[in-house]
């Protein structure tokens, strides 16, 4: 019996790419590959790329350049580029880096086994189509083997919103939802492998329509899965937070009190230029309704500063919205152009203005995050312990609010949801003490 081939996957970007990388590894498992943690001994290297951040394509080409030595040392090494940069750049990747053997877009990675067979014959393989065949149906069951207690599960892909700054509609395509029975079956498989918490993923996950009841209907269906203890979802659009989903936050015990709901700006003028199709006030009203349903909800958001045309007043409006809402977590970025998007054609703000605004915004967000964490001290939470800490006898996990919590605990509690009292707050985590129940 021949030794297994080694597969190294480097994953960039969002949680959906983490999920995709897992499925790519499973798809190539049938070709005799096992994953390795280093590219040095790999028989195939896949870069699963993201196109959201600045100069994403150039960073991929730079990474490929660093791999020339590996290819020279092992001419049989196969190198592939997957994900959104692959979708956007296509054949240009092979032209610029002839050592690349295959390029596959995010909607076509179920075809990796056939592509791998082709490159083993010396051919190059390129697939950046939006195929009609269902990649999830083709991939079928998850590979057997013990899993960690948390997992991502993609339920929706693509976006129809066409925000002026975003490439997702062009690299991931139109909104498509997986059928509910397919999602539920995969969730059951994950639970059988040891998963206790599932995060439902989508570029615009609350636009999910694979269940008659939308995302709320899917959540209630997953609520019935024995052994599944926690449900989360990300990323959402304010316009798709319907009544049923808001109600689920208040009534579904398995749905965690955490919501990532990007707003991007607090200025109506900038929101219109971004083509966000909501106002600052409508966003705040949605937040008020969700918090009325679940008062202890921890809110996370996304912010872009320095969007073309943003004035000092527009930026102050964003700071005012942040102060009004209060975020427990947030992600913030300077605007950077994405070729092919409408905003890329507009006059850009100077970098020093962007940097100054980002520093002010992040200082405010950090202050809020620390304040929210400090208020957790003295509270009892439920922590799903996921891994062993660096200190002896320490376990690390996440509370229902997605705070990182560490505590002295019996290693037998790994993978279990455990009551913990928060005793201290630090910059990015909470310290807890396990509550010994009678």
Instruction: Say yes or no to pLDDT of 287 above 70.
Output: yes
What interhelical angle do 15-29 and 112-120 show, nearest 10?
60
Position 438 confidence tier, pLDDT thresholds 50, 70, 90: low
Q: Which CATH number does 380-434 carry? A: 2.40.50.140
Least confident interval from 21-35, 188-202, 211-225: 21-35
pLDDT recorded at residue 140: 63
- pLDDT over threshold 90, residue 136: no
pLDDT digit string, tens, across residues 330-377: 999 999 888 788 998 899 999 999 999 999 999 999 999 999 999 999
Q: How confident is the model at residue 58 (pLDDT cuts 50, 70, 90)?
A: confident
Domain residue spans of the chain: 5-127, 140-374, 380-434
Most trustworthy range by pLDDT among 17-26, 60-69, 198-207: 198-207
**The pLDDT of residue 416 is above 80:** yes
- Can you give the length of the chain in residues? 438
Query: What CATH class is the domain 140-374?
Result: alpha beta
381 has a pLDDT exceeding 80 = yes
Q: Does 411 or 56 have the greater pLDDT score?
A: 411
Written in H, E and C, the secondary structure of the chain is: CCCCEEEEEEECCCHHHHHHHHHHHHHHHCCCEEECCCHHHCCEEEEEECCCCCCHHHHHHHHHHHCHHHHHHCCCCEEEEEEHHHHHHCHHHHHHCCCCCEEECCCCHHHHHHHHHHHHCCCCEEECCCCCCCHHHHHCCCCCCCCCCEEEEECEECCCCCCCCCCHHHHCCCCEECCHHHHHHHHHHHHHCCCCEEEEECCCHHHCCCCCCHHHHHHHHHHCCCCCCEEEEECCCHHHCCHHHHHHHHHCCCECCEEECCCECCCHHHHHHHCCCCCHHHHHHHHHHHHHHCCCCEEEEEEEECCCCCCHHHHHHHHHHHHHHCCCEEEEEECCCCCCCHHHHCCCCCHHHHHHHHHHHHHHHHHHHHHHHHCCCCCEEEEEEEEECCCCCEEEEECCCCCEEEEECCHHHCCCEEEEEEEEECCCCEEEEECCCC
Higher pLDDT, 387 or 436: 387
pLDDT band at 437 (very low <50, low <70, confident <90, very high): low
Q: Residue 84: CA atoms inside 13 Å, Cβ hemisphere, count? A: 26
What pLDDT score was predicted for residue 169? 86
Q: What is the mean pLDDT of the chain?
A: 92
Range of lowest pLDDT (126-140, 196-210, 363-377): 126-140
Which residue in 107, 55, 100 sits closest to 80, CA to CA?
A: 100
Higher local confidence (pLDDT), 201 or 3: 201
pTM above 0.95, yes or no: no
Q: Which of 10-14, 19-23, 151-155, 167-171 has the highest mean pLDDT?
A: 151-155
Share above pLDDT 90 across residues of the chain, in percent, rounded to a whole number: 76
The CATH homologous superfamily to which domain 5-127 belongs is Methylthiotransferase, N-terminal domain (3.40.50.12160)
Q: What pLDDT is recorded for position 172?
A: 83
Q: Which two tokens stand for residue 45?
A: 């290297």
Find the range with the poorest average confidence among 53-62, 318-327, 337-346.
Answer: 53-62
User: Binning pLDDT at 50, 70 and 90, where does residue 14 land?
Assistant: confident
Q: pLDDT confidence of 144, banded at 50, 70, 90?
A: low
């Amino acid at each position: 019996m021949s030794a297994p081939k080694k597969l190294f996957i480097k994953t960039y970007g969002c949680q959906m790419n983490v999920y995709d990388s897992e499925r790519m590894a499973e798809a190539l498992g049938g070709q005799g590959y096992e994953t390795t943690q280093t590219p040095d001994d790999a028989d195939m290297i896949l870069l699963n790329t993201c196109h959201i951040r600045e100069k994403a394509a150039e960073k991929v080409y730079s990474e490929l350049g660093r791999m020339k030595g590996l290819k020279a040392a092992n001419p049989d090494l196969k190198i592939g580029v997957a994900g959104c940069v692959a979708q956007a750049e296509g054949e240009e990747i092979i032209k610029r880096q002839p050592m690349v053997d295959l390029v596959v877009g995010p909607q076509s990675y179920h075809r990796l086994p056939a592509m791998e067979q082709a490159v083993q014959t010396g051919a190059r393989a390129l697939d950046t189509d939006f195929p009609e065949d269902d990649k999830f149906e083709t991939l079928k069951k998850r590979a057997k083997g013990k899993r960690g207690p948390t997992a991502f599960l993609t339920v929706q892909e693509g976006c129809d919103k066409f925000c002026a700054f975003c490439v997702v509609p062009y690299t991931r395509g139109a909104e498509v939802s997986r059928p509910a029975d397919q999602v539920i079956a995969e969730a059951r498989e994950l639970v059988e492998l040891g998963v206790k918490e599932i995060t439902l993923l989508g570029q615009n996950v609350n636009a999910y329509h694979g269940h008659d009841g939308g995302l709320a209907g899917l959540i209630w269906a997953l609520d019935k899965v024995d052994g599944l203890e926690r449900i989360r979802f990300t990323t959402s659009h304010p316009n798709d937070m319907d009544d049923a989903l808001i109600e689920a936050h208040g009534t579904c015990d398995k749905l965690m009190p955490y919501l990532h709901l990007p707003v991007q700006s607090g200025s109506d003028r900038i929101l219109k230029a971004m083509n966000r199709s909501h106002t600052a006030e409508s966003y705040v009203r949605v937040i008020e309704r969700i918090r009325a349903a679940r008062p202890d909800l921890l809110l996370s958001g996304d912010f872009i500063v320095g969007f073309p045309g943003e004035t000092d007043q527009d930026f102050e409006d964003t700071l005012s919205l942040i102060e009004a809402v209060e975020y427990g977590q947030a992600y913030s970025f300077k605007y950077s152009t994405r070729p092919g998007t409408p905003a890329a054609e507009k006059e850009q703000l100077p970098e020093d203005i962007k940097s100054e605004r980002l520093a002010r915004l992040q200082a405010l967000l950090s202050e809020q995050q620390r304040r929210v964490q400090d208020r957790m001290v003295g509270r009892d939470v439920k922590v799903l312990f996921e891994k062993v800490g660096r200190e002896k006898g320490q376990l690390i996990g996440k509370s229902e609010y997605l705070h990182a919590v560490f505590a002295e605990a019996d290693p037998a509690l790994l993978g279990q949801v455990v009551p913990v009292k928060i005793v201290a707050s630090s910059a990015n985590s909470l310290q807890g003490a396990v509550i010994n129940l009678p």
